[in-house]
Copies of this chain bind each other. A is one copy, B any other.
Amino acid sequence: MGKSRLEAFSDGVLAIIITIMVLELKVPQSGELVALRPQLPAFLSYVLSFVYLGIYWNNHHHMLHATRNVNGAILWANLHLLFWLSLFPFVTGWMGENSFAPAPTALYGLVLLMAAIAYWILQYAIIASQGHDSLLARAVGRDIKGKLSPVLYVLAIFAAFFNQWISGGLYVVVALMWLIPDRRIERVLGDS
């Protein structure tokens, strides 16, 4: 199987996930401006998830760009990643509608963690099939961001039961870490 089908299907699923999340923003009954206020946490969690899915879409494509062939292991590792990403609308909605309450905030971090692990497994499956001197293996390198993110997610999950704003802050930090172009942050983290 060529990789184009995998790309097209993943693109489709990611496009749908990123878009149906907006259905969790419930249209207020009242037409007053104040009726928007209870929607503010839901909006913030929507923005956060939109950025995360954008990052995943971006990285997913760079990864597949450096991939030649697709085998069964890669295919199922990819579906596994899409599975965890498909839970974004649910956890985004739960966190937003409960104003970042501890349990939803922790569950949000758990889904981020599982997606990060699924991404790592997919990366591993591709490198295993392409060889350790492949383009992808060299591009990934020491993968400092990939190793730091899960650690920060675990911290955020535990922090949610003490102060959920620490968790929220950590989610924002990880997102920014991936948003800022690669080389610079890797050099910074590599030096520290």
Q: Roughly how many angstroms separate A179 CA and B75 CA in the complex, as a whole number?
A: 11
CB–CB A22/B103 < 8 A: no
Q: Which A1-39 residues sit within 8 Å CB-CB of chain B?
A: 1, 5, 7-9, 11-20, 22-25, 27-33, 35-36
A150, CB-defined interface residue at 8 Å? no
Q: Roughly how many angstroms separate A55 CA and B28 CA in the complex, as a whole number?
A: 27
Instruction: Tell me which of A86-94, A112-120, A122-130, A138-146 binds B.
Output: A86-94
Count of chain A residues near B, Cβ 8 A: 58
CB–CB B20/A9 < 8 A: no
CB–CB A14/B20 < 8 A: no
CB–CB A11/B5 < 8 A: yes
CB–CB A27/B103 < 8 A: no
A190, CB-defined interface residue at 8 Å? no
CB–CB B94/A27 < 8 A: yes
> Could you list which residues of chain A lie within 8 angstroms of chain B, going by C-beta atoms?
1, 5, 7-9, 11-20, 22-25, 27-33, 35-36, 47, 50, 54, 57-58, 61-62, 65, 72, 75-76, 79, 82-83, 86-87, 89-90, 93-94, 97-99, 101-104, 107, 179, 181
